[in-house]
Amino acid sequence: MDKYKLVIRGEKPLAGDTYVSGGKNTSLAVIPAAVLCEEPCTIENLPDIEDVHVLHRILRALGAKVDFDTKLKRMVIDPRTVHTTTVPFHFAQQMRASYYFMGALLGRYGKADVGYPGGCDIGSRPIDQHIKGFEALGASINEYSGMLGLEGSPHGAIINFDMVTVGATINVMLAAVRAKGNTVLTNAAREPHIVDAANFLNSMGAKIKGAGTDTIRIRGVDKLHGGTYTVIPDQIETGTLMIAAAATRGDVAIHGTIPTHMEALTAKLLEMGVSVTSQDDVINVRIKRGHRPIRLSTQEYPGFPTDLQQPMSALLTRAGGHSEVNENIFDNRFKHLDEMRRMGAKVIISGRTAYIEGVPQLRGAPVTATDLRGGAALVIAGLMASGVTEVYNPEFIARGYERLEDKLSALGADIHRERVD
């Protein structure tokens, strides 16, 4: 694909109806999980995003038959033709969630060789808790030239994670569903996509209880069958659209959401003076007066999600007064605020805290995305700013949002792609 940038003429209030796509983080867990099944699986409501295409390519490299219909948002995966348990480094490096092939291939074949995962540069992202879990299930681990080799048929175990981690909770759950005996995961993460991944596996015959709480109990089963599963709507895309509506002083109805997944963000927007109401699967966001400043701390679910910290802190640069944002999950997740200084944002960053002094106006400027959610934050900054903002490296955004610029322009934003020579 040609290199492009996003060009935004700001200060247009968003208005009207939009819809949310299928969950990125759920899809990234459910697609690798399909190799645990003995029969074809159909996964519906998948977002058409670059990370899903990377997983598609990895599955095909493993030998699975895969048909991804991007119009119908449906992928059919037949894992019966898988002929290798190796995910080469160059594939694994393209994204974070390639690590789920470790748990899925180990759980299905008792062997996996997977390159170290890539993903957004938002601080150090070790995988020691994944390895601890695989070892407890009986796997031997061998690290060699950028690869992690895992071998051994998993058996049940009791595993207490040293910290709350989404990735390790899902990965170890994948390795345990076909293990001999029972597994208990304590201090497990509780994110909606963990519940969705467990629901997918249970619908294929797994016996998982407690997903969504901090203790997950898994009774190992001999095999998983195939079937059809629909992934949940994207919590972070929903939140990004809510913040974009608030940032432009818009009036937007977002359809196809699960409002209970949005409670932490909703509470913070209400505190800022934004009106947020919901009925069934529709969330309405509107604002009449200026935004009030707030204090914000990211936490594991059901706390405020780190993935929404970046869009939200972009919004806070325009709130009337002093805001404080504490990033408790990752250690380098404020790069978008550095870029926004060029747009007139007043920010002091000290370690994991950003002190933001709201300004009455941001000015359009060229800015560069360095990660997925930071890229979305810069788009929100551009929507608020006067004049023209150019967001470079929007490929980061396309990794996790399905044509964000199209959804925003359908709501009245002036945003388009332009080729960069």
Other Cβ atoms within 10 Å of 300 Cβ, number = 18
Number of residues that bind ligand UD1 (CB under 6 A): 21
CA–CA dist 321, 340 (Å, integer): 17
Residue whose CB is less far from ligand UD1, 8 or 75: 75
Stretch that binds ligand UD1, among 165-173, 174-182, 226-234, 276-284 (CB under 6 A): 165-173
* Alpha helix segments (H runs only) across 69-208: 89-92, 100-109, 128-136, 166-176, 192-203
Query: Which of 300, 297, 331 is CA-nearest to residue 312?
Result: 297
Q: How far apart are the first and last CA of the chain?
A: 12
Note if 120 is an active site residue.
yes
**Closest approach of Cβ 168 to ligand UD1, in Å?**
5
Determine the 3-state secondary structure of 268 from DSSP.
helix
The correct pick among 61, 158, 163, 267 for binding ligand UD1 (CB under 6 A) is 163
Determine the 3-state secondary structure of 217 from DSSP.
strand
**Closest approach of Cβ 407 to ligand UD1, in Å?**
20
Residue whose CB is less far from ligand UD1, 98 or 248: 98
Stretch that binds ligand UD1, among 104-112, 119-127, 214-222, 387-395 (CB under 6 A): 119-127
Determine the 3-state secondary structure of 44 from DSSP.
strand
Residue 5 in contact with ligand UD1, rule: CB under 6 A: no
Strand ranges, E, within 369-420:
388-392, 414-419
**What is the chain's Cα-based Rg?**
21
The correct pick among 104, 106, 168, 377 for binding ligand UD1 (CB under 6 A) is 168
**Closest approach of Cβ 312 to ligand UD1, in Å?**
14
Query: Which of 48, 151, 53, 145 is CA-nearest to residue 98?
Result: 53
Residue whose CB is less far from ligand UD1, 33 or 287: 33
Tokens of 415: 């945003």
Residue 128 in contact with ligand UD1, rule: CB under 6 A: yes
The one catalytic residue among 58, 120, 148, 385: 120
Stretch that binds ligand UD1, among 60-68, 163-171, 359-367, 407-415 (CB under 6 A): 163-171
CA–CA dist 31, 43 (Å, integer): 8
x/- mask, ligand UD1, residues 186-215, rule CB under 6 A, reads: ---x--------------------------
- Under 8 Å between Cβ of 115 and 146: yes
Residue 50 in contact with ligand UD1, rule: CB under 6 A: no
CB neighbour list of residue 280: distance below 8 Å, 6 or more residues apart: none
Binding to ligand UD1 (CB under 6 A) within 376-395 occurs at none
The correct pick among 306, 317, 389, 393 for binding ligand UD1 (CB under 6 A) is 306
Residue whose CB is less far from ligand UD1, 183 or 389: 183
Tell me the residue type at 170.
I
The correct pick among 68, 200, 304, 330 for binding ligand UD1 (CB under 6 A) is 330
Strand ranges, E, within 306-345:
322-326
Q: Which residue is nearest to ligand UD1 (CB)?
A: 167
Residue whose CB is less far from ligand UD1, 67 or 263: 263
DSSP one-letter code for 22: B
Residue whose CB is less far from ligand UD1, 211 or 329: 329
Query: Which of 195, 144, 28, 148 is CA-nearest to residue 95?
Result: 28
Stretch that binds ligand UD1, among 14-22, 38-46, 161-169, 363-371 (CB under 6 A): 161-169
Sign of CA dihedral 129, 133, 134, 136: positive
The residue ranges that bind ligand UD1 (CB under 6 A) are 25, 28, 96-97, 124-130, 163, 165-168, 189, 306-307, 329-330
> Catalytic residues, which ones?
120
